Chain A
Amino acid sequence: MIKRKNAPSLKAIEKINFISPVKIQLGEHTPFFWMKEVPNETARLDFIFHAGTTRGSNLISSLVAGLLFSGTDKKTSTDIHNELDDLGAFFDVGLGHESVLVSFYALKKNILAVFKIFEDALEHVNFPQNEINELITDRKQKLKINSEKVGFLAQREFQKNLFHGTNYARQTELEDYDTVRREEIIEYFSKNYKNGLRKVVLVGALEEVQVTEIAEKSKKWCLHEKPLFENNFNNNKGIFQLKKKDAVQSAVRIGKTLFNKNHPDFLGFSILNTILGDYFGSRLMKNIREDKGYTYGISSTEAELAKSGYFMIGTEVGSAQKDLAIQEIKNEIELLQKDLVPDEELELVRNYLLGQLLKSADGPYAMTDLFLSVDAYELDFSFYESYIQKVKNIDAEELRALAVKYLAWDSMTIVIAG
């Protein structure tokens, strides 16, 4: 007879083998990381530029990021896209507060050719006026459409209050598009891309000689100075409401500025954050979704910036239940500040987090991203060894003390849109 009532015995995670990519120094402030142990034909090539929104105007930075392949004197934007298509390449441009990430995905045999197209497109980009106009038209329409979404409105308002008084708080408004000049775009590009390369990352089993060629040819874009970032944030506390007519759900964002991996409490707080809202069995999910049915989903995150970070709870709830939902969020935080996390729950979270870390280290792409997420804060893989120790050893008293120290309700920015 099968014993279905009892769970099979659990086995602990065996050791995780962290593999660091090879590092090639391109310039004083620009490393090139190469993960060469890839057991298949795929490759990814990333370029990280010091060209995020905080480097100048929000709008201009975002337009430049959207126009990197807009054409040169010899090639139109269509030509460049056709050339990339012919190599089967996919690409993606991501814009953040602090950087721009350009990623290419292709078969390894095509990566060098993809790089050469990128090199030419970037070196000679001339920002044709018609491409600028087209992008502005598209972006205006997208902004109008996004402004119909409560989640978008709440997120913008949250960022404004979280980072108030700094470049990080700025948002693009519709009327900003009317005053864009091509010269600003060209100037922003020259200032932040031409000598703005902060990092190159290659994942793929390429030939050494190809890697050297990519590395050598990328050198001309290296940063001349060590980038500096804001670290002094102080979020606006209190409740900020945005009305949106006819909305059947309200978007809620609750959070505050905090820290990144360099802070001694980061590890402990990340475990606390998991318990509160960062997995499917979290307290917020169990209460607000699985017990009350107020929402389809709710989560909390611990986000990082170069020199800082923030904590945020986000959800979309039925408009009639928004006050009840916020009260329940507050209750869950207070419970963490008042009562000790029970052993059984803590044990579950320990196992869950170690399992997830094993998954985050599975395969060359995941391993590279895991490495990048410590390298960004000038740390190395020993961080994860400390993490494993912390997950194994943290106790309920420490978690409660962290909840008291960092989750005070009156320290939060609370945004409700809907």
Chain B
Amino acid sequence: MVKFERFQLSNGLKVIFHKDTSTPMAVVNVLYDIGARDESEEKTGFAHLFEHLMFGGSVNIPDFDTELQKAGGENNAFTSNDITNYYDVLPANNLDTALWLESDRMLSLAFTEKSLEVQRSVVIEEFKQRYLNQPYGDVWLQLRPLAYKKHPYKWATIGKEISHIENATMEDVREFFKKYYCPSNAILCIAGNFELDFIKERVNYWFSDIASGKKPARIIASEPKQLEFRELELERNVPASAFYYAFKMAERKHPDYYIADILSDSLSREKSSLLYLKLKKEKPFVSEIVAYITGSIDEGLFIISGKLNDGISFEDFDNALWEVLNEVCLNPIEEKELNSLKIKMQTARAFQEQGILNRSMNLCYFELLGDANGINEEHLIYEQISCDHIQSYANELFQKTNCSLLKIKAQQA
């Protein structure tokens, strides 16, 4: 049970306080309700570029990192297709430093041409390091637009192409900040060994004079129902051919989301899933095969991906995979396996909940989804899932017309 208190400032900032008496550290986590899905198609990669700029100095503080490091702390941030999340971890008795820093950059940034120019280069190097200079690195740049035709999940957080980042102007950046970085679009969580009254007083002190801003309306093109099988084959200079089957699945808040999550766990069990037994153990079609979900807030993807063994054709593998998926659709998984999956989830949860940083991030994320208490309720949803639920959802999911297939053909093989 993760206990927490909630309050809201008059400028709209939502605040969660999580008391933990066992730690000498404090966490300040700020979630902004802005992700790559909020970008326009002509200016992709902005949410992420912006995350970099948030460290380039704010209106009263030239260097964010330096001040936090002086206080013995460290910080980082990440951007997804849905959110941008910043966190600071520091000794609890220096909490005020983190509040000072986070409130100042929520108040206003001090953009300079130089910091924009440098961070553009840094992000371009990140683009190269992660997406261009790795075998299979560009897979998600290819798979997203295959699976999504309208919804902005069709581009990756790094952006659709480097030129969008190269062409970002000061004007663009200022506008982006004004629109998305305001108290009414943020959720703050503070965790550590404090009293609620103290937290209320300090948060009020640092954040209450920041202008509320207007929570931006989210107008996102919804993805039309997929009605046809899609396929893209690309040749790449890689040693092994790889496959990515992407099935459209339920959005984050839908009950089916949880069923899909368990189903992906079932198909990914190391050395014992049906995929592994049939496609690797019985007949060595693949060297590796995994199933996972993207976990996005809007309609997500259920992925089955892996690499073919030498000499195996995509066609042979494809037939064998659909046979296995049909089996999954026809025969419910056994009660025993379902229980084992649930115990594994409980164990993973118990480990994740140990750190206050994880708890703080999750509290903010669940609050964004509607209620921070989701952190304590989610396992109840999982517990109610039955073998029949899974079978029935598998039938809905594993339809050829619900699938987009990306094949990376190895030139070296």
Interfacial residues of chain A within 349-391, with CB under 8 A of chain B in the complex:
349, 351-352, 354-356, 358-359, 362-363, 365
Known contacts A81-B270, A138-B287, A279-B69; is A295 also within 8 Å of B122 by CB?
A: yes
- Residue from A40, A147, A249 in contact with B128 in the complex, judged by beta carbons closer than 8 Å: A249
Q: Is B234 an interface residue (CB 8 A)?
A: no
- Residue from A7, A145, A317, A365 in contact with B67 in the complex, judged by beta carbons closer than 8 Å: A7
A296→B343 contact, CB < 8 A: no
> Which of A223-231, A286-294, A331-339 binds B?
A286-294
B125→A296 contact, CB < 8 A: yes
Q: Is A24 an interface residue (CB 8 A)?
A: no
Q: Is A247 an interface residue (CB 8 A)?
A: yes
Binary contact readout A74-92 vs B (1 if CB under 8 angstroms, 0 otherwise): 0001100110011111100
Q: Is B225 an interface residue (CB 8 A)?
A: no
Q: Is A209 an interface residue (CB 8 A)?
A: no
- Residue from A10, A107, A137 in contact with B71 in the complex, judged by beta carbons closer than 8 Å: A10
Q: Is A105 an interface residue (CB 8 A)?
A: yes
> Which of B32-40, B132-140, B173-181, B255-263 binds A?
B132-140
Q: Is B264 an interface residue (CB 8 A)?
A: no
- Residue from A4, A39, A77, A148 in contact with B239 in the complex, judged by beta carbons closer than 8 Å: A148
Q: Is B25 an interface residue (CB 8 A)?
A: yes
Known contacts A2-B206, A249-B129, A295-B125; is A85 also within 8 Å of B351 by CB?
A: no
Binary contact readout A48-60 vs B (1 if CB under 8 angstroms, 0 otherwise): 0000000000000
Q: Is A149 an interface residue (CB 8 A)?
A: yes
Residues in B whose Cβ lies below 8 Å from that of A317 = 125
Q: Is B89 an interface residue (CB 8 A)?
A: yes
Interfacial residues of chain B within 85-139, with CB under 8 A of chain A in the complex:
89-91, 93-94, 96-97, 100, 103-104, 107, 117-126, 128-130, 132-136
Residues in A whose Cβ lies below 8 Å from that of B331 = none
Give the Cβ gap from B377 to chain A, nearest Cβ, in Å.
19
Q: Is A281 an interface residue (CB 8 A)?
A: yes
> Which of B214-222, B243-251, B277-285 binds A?
B277-285
B347→A107 contact, CB < 8 A: yes
Q: How far is the CA of A281 from the CA of B206 in the complex (A)?
A: 25
A145→B271 contact, CB < 8 A: no
Q: How far is the CA of A11 from the CA of B92 in the complex (A)?
A: 10
B23→A362 contact, CB < 8 A: yes
Give the Cβ gap from A86 to chain B, nearest Cβ, in Å.
5
A355→B133 contact, CB < 8 A: no
A316→B129 contact, CB < 8 A: yes
Q: How far is the CA of A147 from the CA of B412 in the complex (A)?
A: 13
Residues in A whose Cβ lies below 8 Å from that of B287 = 137-138, 141-142
A348→B272 contact, CB < 8 A: no
Between B24, B73, B96, B280, the greatest number of chain A beta carbons within 10 A of the residue's beta carbon is seen for B24
Q: Is A318 an interface residue (CB 8 A)?
A: yes
Residues in B whose Cβ lies below 8 Å from that of A14 = 24, 93
Interfacial residues of chain B within 60-85, with CB under 8 A of chain A in the complex:
60-61, 65-67, 69-75
Q: How far is the CA of A137 from the CA of B281 in the complex (A)?
A: 12
Residues in B whose Cβ lies below 8 Å from that of A134 = 280-281, 284
Give the Cβ gap from A118 to chain B, nearest Cβ, in Å.
15
Known contacts A39-B22, A81-B271, A150-B133; is A141 also within 8 Å of B307 by CB?
A: yes
Residues in B whose Cβ lies below 8 Å from that of A295 = 122, 125
B125→A318 contact, CB < 8 A: yes
- Residue from A78, A138, A356 in contact with B72 in the complex, judged by beta carbons closer than 8 Å: A356
Residues in A whose Cβ lies below 8 Å from that of B355 = 363
Q: How far is the CA of A89 from the CA of B340 in the complex (A)?
A: 10
Interfacial residues of chain B within 333-361, with CB under 8 A of chain A in the complex:
336, 339-341, 343-348, 350-351, 353-355
Known contacts A138-B288, A281-B66; is A106 also within 8 Å of B93 by CB?
A: no
Residues in A whose Cβ lies below 8 Å from that of B23 = 362-363
Give the Cβ gap from B302 to chain A, nearest Cβ, in Å.
21
- Residue from B24, B73, B125, B351 in contact with A42 in the complex, judged by beta carbons closer than 8 Å: B351
Q: Is B375 an interface residue (CB 8 A)?
A: no
- Residue from A8, A40, A351 in contact with B354 in the complex, judged by beta carbons closer than 8 Å: A40
- Residue from A148, A150, A281, A316 in contact with B238 in the complex, judged by beta carbons closer than 8 Å: A148
A293→B122 contact, CB < 8 A: yes
Q: How far is the CA of A317 from the CA of B205 in the complex (A)?
A: 43
Q: How far is the CA of A86 from the CA of B130 in the complex (A)?
A: 36
Q: How far is the CA of A355 from the CA of B299 in the complex (A)?
A: 41
Give the Cβ gap from A151 to chain B, nearest Cβ, in Å.
9
B91→A355 contact, CB < 8 A: yes
Give the Cβ gap from A332 to chain B, nearest Cβ, in Å.
17
Q: Is B400 an interface residue (CB 8 A)?
A: no
Known contacts A141-B287, A279-B74, A356-B72; is A8 also within 8 Å of B96 by CB?
A: yes
Q: How far is the CA of A16 from the CA of B121 in the complex (A)?
A: 41
Known contacts A88-B343, A137-B309; is A42 also within 8 Å of B354 by CB?
A: yes
Q: How far is the CA of A142 from the CA of B61 in the complex (A)?
A: 47
- Residue from B205, B271, B309, B354 in contact with A77 in the complex, judged by beta carbons closer than 8 Å: B271
Q: Is A191 an interface residue (CB 8 A)?
A: no
B346→A358 contact, CB < 8 A: no
Q: How far is the CA of A7 from the CA of B70 in the complex (A)?
A: 10
Q: Is B237 an interface residue (CB 8 A)?
A: yes
A42→B288 contact, CB < 8 A: no
- Residue from B65, B121, B348 in contact with A280 in the complex, judged by beta carbons closer than 8 Å: B65
Residues in A whose Cβ lies below 8 Å from that of B136 = 145
Known contacts A4-B104, A42-B351, A248-B133; is A145 also within 8 Å of B72 by CB?
A: no
Give the Cβ gap from A161 to chain B, nearest Cβ, in Å.
23
Q: Is A144 an interface residue (CB 8 A)?
A: yes
Q: How far is the CA of A16 from the CA of B309 in the complex (A)?
A: 53
Q: Is A5 an interface residue (CB 8 A)?
A: yes
Smallest Cβ-Cβ distance to A318: which chain B residue: B125
Binary contact readout A104-136 vs B (1 if CB under 8 angstroms, 0 otherwise): 011100100000000000000000000000100
Q: How far is the CA of A359 from the CA of B192 in the complex (A)?
A: 13
Q: Is A208 an interface residue (CB 8 A)?
A: no
Give the Cβ gap from B394 to chain A, nearest Cβ, in Å.
20
B104→A81 contact, CB < 8 A: no
Residues in B whose Cβ lies below 8 Å from that of A398 = none
Q: Is B143 an interface residue (CB 8 A)?
A: no
A contact set with B: CB distance below 8 Å: 2, 4-5, 7-8, 10-11, 13-14, 16, 39-42, 77-78, 81-82, 85-90, 105-107, 110, 134, 137-138, 141-142, 144-145, 147-150, 246-249, 279-281, 289-296, 316-318, 347-349, 351-352, 354-356, 358-359, 362-363, 365
A-B contact pairs, 22 of them (CB 8 A): A7-B70, A14-B93, A40-B353, A40-B354, A85-B340, A88-B340, A89-B344, A107-B350, A138-B287, A141-B240, A141-B310, A145-B240, A148-B238, A149-B133, A249-B128, A249-B129, A280-B65, A294-B125, A316-B129, A355-B90, A355-B91, A362-B25
B contact set with A: CB distance below 8 Å: 22-25, 59-61, 65-67, 69-75, 89-91, 93-94, 96-97, 100, 103-104, 107, 117-126, 128-130, 132-136, 205-206, 209, 237-240, 269-272, 277, 280-281, 284, 287-288, 307, 309-310, 336, 339-341, 343-348, 350-351, 353-355, 412
Q: Contacts A8-B100, A106-B347, A348-B70 given; 6 further ones with Cβ under 8 A?
A: A2-B209, A4-B100, A141-B309, A147-B239, A148-B237, A359-B25
